[in-house]
């Protein structure tokens, strides 16, 4: 089946989740982050994801902004950082995450090819709108689909089903792209053709389903979508 619809995870896939800590560390007054920001960013992201999985398992859903704040609070405490102004600055910067450099050209190529493009994310709608607007991607995306409409986080099947409902497509018409191996595995099990953007060169997750394609960045997505790779 021909690919008609390209769906992207947001955080870590289109948007650099380390950007908030990196940018904060460069600002005057935040010298405490000069050496520790990579560890802070990694801990923040890890806890953010862990909390989504735990809340999905227990059925105790809270929106992604709450989970993001919880993850940051854990990461700050782990680093011994207690400045409330630093916390607020990091949270502010999370609404303004930069897109990876190849994103605009990649999305433009997909739109020129006549394909549907959208985000499917754990992020809450207002967070996604902030990131998309900050990166200037509004005209390159047809929609931003959020788990908030179903009240459970990925990789629950009901989340991936949002794509079929929104675009009226079948599963084999969808190319799903994520930088999270577990997300690519979940989408593969659902029936999407998947791309794992493995920017860090990690091993493939030991799950029942594997990504159909593995890339190191997003530049090859248009070729995969058009069936030329």
Residues 208 and 120 in one domain: yes
Strands 213-215 vs 193-197: parallel, antiparallel or unpaired: parallel
Which pLDDT score, from 0 to 100, does residue 229 have? 54
Residues 186 and 147 in one domain: yes
What's the CATH code of the domain at 184?
A: 3.40.50.1000
Final residue of a structural domain among 68, 94, 120:
94
Residues 37 and 140 in one domain: no
Residues 89 and 108 in one domain: no
Final residue of a structural domain among 50, 77, 94:
94
Residues 10 and 24 in one domain: no
Residues 24 and 11 in one domain: no
Which pLDDT score, from 0 to 100, does residue 94 have? 96
Mean pLDDT by 10 residues, the chain (229 residues): 94 97 94 92 98 97 98 97 95 95 98 98 96 96 98 98 98 97 98 97 96 98 86
Residues 105 and 171 in one domain: yes
Residues 108 and 174 in one domain: yes
Final residue of a structural domain among 75, 94, 113:
94
Residues 215 and 121 in one domain: yes
Which pLDDT score, from 0 to 100, does residue 32 have? 85
Residues 112 and 219 in one domain: yes
Domain count, the chain: 2
DSSP 156-224: -HHHHHHHHHHH---GGGEEEEES-HHHHHHHHHHT-EEEEE-TT-PPPP-SSS--SEEESSSTTHHHH
Q: Supply the residues annotated as catalytic.
A: 9
């Amino acid at each position: 089946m021909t690919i008609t619809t390209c769906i992207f995870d947001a955080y870590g896939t289109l948007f650099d989740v380390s950007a908030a800590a990196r940018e904060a560390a460069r600002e005057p007054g935040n010298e405490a982050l000069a050496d520790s920001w990579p560890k802070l960013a990694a801990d923040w992201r890890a806890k953010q994801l862990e909390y989504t999985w735990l809340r999905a398992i227990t059925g105790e859903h809270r929106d992604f902004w709450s989970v993001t704040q919880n993850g940051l609070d854990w990461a700050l405490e782990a680093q011994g950082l207690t400045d409330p102004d630093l916390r607020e600055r990091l949270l502010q910067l999370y609404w303004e995450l930069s897109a990876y450099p190849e994103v605009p050209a990649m999305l433009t190529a997909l739109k020129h090819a006549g394909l549907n493009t959208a985000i499917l994310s754990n992020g809450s709608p207002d967070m996604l709108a902030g990131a998309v607007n900050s990166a200037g991607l509004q005209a390159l995306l047809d929609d931003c689909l959020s788990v908030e409409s179903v009240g459970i986080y990925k990789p629950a099947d009901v989340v991936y089903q949002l794509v079929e409902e929104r675009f009226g497509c079948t599963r084999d018409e969808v190319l799903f792209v994520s930088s999270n191996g577990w997300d690519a595995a979940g989408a593969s099990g659902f029936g999407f053709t998947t791309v794992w953007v493995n920017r860090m060169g990690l091993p493939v997750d030991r799950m029942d389903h594997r990504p159909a394609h593995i890339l190191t960045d997003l530049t090859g997505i248009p070729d995969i979508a058009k069936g030329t790779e």
